[in-house]
Amino acid sequence: MYPEPLYSSRIPVTLVKDHAYCPAIPWIRRFLGYREPRSPSMETARVDASYKEEVARELGLPRPWRIELPVQGVSIPLSGVVDIVAGDKRLTVVEVKAYKRRMDRSRHFRIQLLLYAYIVNETIGPVREAILYMQGHVYRTRVTLDLLEEARREAEKTLKTLASEEPPRPRQPRRKCSYCWYRRVCPSHY
Ligand code: SF4
């Protein structure tokens, strides 16, 4: 099958998030053309702009608030939409999820958030804090250069994975694969 186009010149931050969860997923999406359909529970979990404004109010974020702000990286070819960017000089970036996951299983969400922080940092102004808001649970991270660098490295790894026709064959915990929608076409399970 002819590979899916490489998302013009930029890739979505959400694809890097998927890569951080499992490198096989973005490769399957690009080269095999499979994409997990949205389930009714995913649809229910969608959050709209007014909900995000409520979150900004609840967190007492400094104004101005930019809700659902489209961003594009300068030094890395990424694009995405940041749920909330708050503040004037020292900024806060927030990713809002309508569902809760254990933090030790949420590295991919943290990478997504830090990449938004990375892009905002280089396009709007210095980001001081990044917040993951998961169904009322608040996880605050002070943004450091080391964390931004970790996120940038994941983006570079994603670009590398997507540039290769050779599939990645990651070893993931059996339990994780057992409920993965991509299992039936996954290169790790050929
Ligand atoms: S089945 Fe396992 S290795 Fe394959 S994409 Fe899913 S999580 Fe990754």
Residue 91 in contact with ligand 1 by CB distance below 6 A? no
CA of 104 from ligand 1 middle (Å) equals 18
Q: Hey, whose CA ends up nearest to atom 8 of ligand 1?
A: 22
pLDDT value of residue 17:
96
CATH number, domain at 42?
A: 3.90.320.10
Residue 183 Cβ < 6 Å to ligand 1? yes
Does the CB atom of residue 186 touch ligand 1 within 6 A?
yes
Asked, for residue 16, whether it belongs to a domain, the answer is: yes
The structural domain count of the chain equals: 1
Q: What pLDDT shows up at residue 43?
A: 67
Q: What atom in ligand 1 is closest to the CA of residue 169?
A: 3
Instruction: For residue 139, tell me if it sits in a domain.
Output: yes
Element (H, E) at 140: strand 137-142
In a domain, residue 170? The reply is no
Cis peptide before 64 (omega within 30 of 0): yes
What local confidence, expressed as pLDDT, does residue 8 receive?
52
Residue nearest to atom 4 of ligand 1 (CA): 186
Cα(142)–Cα(120) distance, integer angstroms: 15
Which residue reads 């804090």 in tokens? 129
Asked if the structure places residue 25 within a domain, the reply is: no
Contact indicator for 113, 129 with CB cutoff of 8 Å: no
Per residue of the chain (190 residues), what is the pLDDT tens digit? Answer: 444 444 457 899 999 999 999 999 999 999 999 998 887 667 666 789 999 999 999 999 999 999 999 999 999 999 999 999 999 989 999 999 987 777 777 899 999 999 999 999 999 999 999 999 998 899 999 999 999 999 999 999 999 999 999 999 999 999 999 999 999 999 999 7
Centre of ligand 1 to C-alpha 170, Å, is 7
Closest CA to 21 of 32, 41, 7, 36: 36
Residues in contact with 99: Cβ distance below 8 Å, sequence separation at least 6, in sequence order: 45, 134, 135
Question: What is the C-alpha separation between 79 and 115, in angstroms, rounded?
Answer: 10
Task: Note whether 164 and 178 are within 8 A (CB).
Answer: no
Asked if residue 179 belongs to a domain, the reply is no
Q: Is residue 145 part of a domain?
A: yes
Which structural domain range is residue 128 located in?
Answer: 11-20+38-164
Contacts of 82 (CB under 8 A, 6+ apart): 66, 68, 69, 71, 93, 94, 95, 116, 119, 120
Residue 178 lies in a domain: no
Helices (H), 48-167: 49-58, 107-123, 145-163
Q: Is 190 contained in some domain?
A: no
Residue nearest to atom 7 of ligand 1 (CA): 177
- Whether the CB of 98 sits within 6 Å of ligand 1: no
Asked if residue 12 has its Cβ within 6 Å of ligand 1, the reply is no
